[in-house]
Structure 1
């Protein structure tokens, strides 16, 4: 279903909420495996820097990226099935801090044939993180 918002037509919306204690428990049990499975290469670099400075900040970053991937998969209607994979969708920050979506293959080609720009927003509080994704139609 497409809806109109200004000049852009919205093809999909996704929202995800995640309790930080849940992300922390998974990280505590399988730190390397969880990080490697969820984060793409650019996100991994940011995570490692943040985690070295403050482990809580690193896990918070990991949780927001997990939520963004979940929200994105909902917005495009795939869930976590091919060509969607955790590490193929990255949420990075532009120099001013604004988050943006970066896709890798084969998800990138699949997405480009179906959708326009993707908009992502992430936030965190002391016990919860949230991510919201809006995907434009072509």
Structure 2
């Protein structure tokens, strides 16, 4: 079952201006060291940050809170699997909120997708509750039987 859906759009140019103006102060407040390391390795650092910013905004919306009620930017972090697939990690208040909204007997899964096409970066987050013990397949398709 779907527990929450969030979407956000971020201007890469605005992110670039913010990074120029506030530098490490902004990066340290909003992004984890892992997210910062990823952005530093990318040729278009501002686009990488803009996608992660949009993902954090989308995640806060999917959690049903927006950026209020104690949620912190760094409570939501995006990393990538070896395949490049983005993954959302929740800690602190965001993790507690996710646990509170997950029905008993279910496991919460946070799905995230990111894209950018200058001058925009976009993210969608879907929070799914899956019954415990139900096999997980990355595509969401039912596992083969037999």
Which residues of structure 2 form unaligned runs of 5+? Answer: 103-107, 131-146
- The CA distance in 2 between the partners of 1:114 and 1:41, in whole Å, is 28
**What pairs up with 1:49-88 in 2 under 5 angstroms?**
49-50=41-42, 54=43, 57-88=44-75
User: How many corresponding residue pairs?
Assistant: 125
Q: In the TM superposition, what whole-angstrom CA distance separates every residue of 1:101-120 from its partner, at most 9, and x where no partner exists? A: 11122432332232311100
Q: In the TM superposition, what whole-angstrom CA distance separates every residue of 1:50-71 from its partner, at most 9, and x where no partner exists? A: 3xxx3xx111111110000000
Whether the 8 Å CA contact 1:14–1:72 is kept in 2: the answer is: yes
Whether the 8 Å CA contact 2:7–2:61 is kept in 1: the answer is: yes
* Structure 2 counterpart of 1:18: 10
- The CA distance in 2 between the partners of 1:132 and 1:107, in whole Å, is 17
Residue 93 (structure 1) aligned with residue 85 (structure 2)? no
From 116, 119, 123, the counterpart of 1:131: 123
CA RMSD of aligned residues (A): 1.5
- The CA distance in 2 between the partners of 1:109 and 1:75, in whole Å, is 14
TM-score (norm 1): 0.83
Which of structures 1 and 2 has the bigger CA Rg?
A: 2
- The CA distance in 1 between the partners of 2:70 and 2:97, in whole Å, is 7
Whether the 8 Å CA contact 1:88–1:105 is kept in 2: the answer is: yes
Residue 112 (structure 1) aligned with residue 99 (structure 2)? yes
Which residues of structure 1 form unaligned runs of 5+? Answer: 1-8
Whether the 8 Å CA contact 2:110–2:126 is kept in 1: the answer is: yes
Whether the 8 Å CA contact 1:19–1:129 is kept in 2: the answer is: yes
Q: In the TM superposition, what whole-angstrom CA distance separates every residue of 1:64-105 from its partner, at most 9, and x where no partner exists? A: 100000000011111112442111100110111111111122
* Structure 2 counterpart of 1:29: 21
| Alpha-carbon distance, 1:31 to partner | 1.1
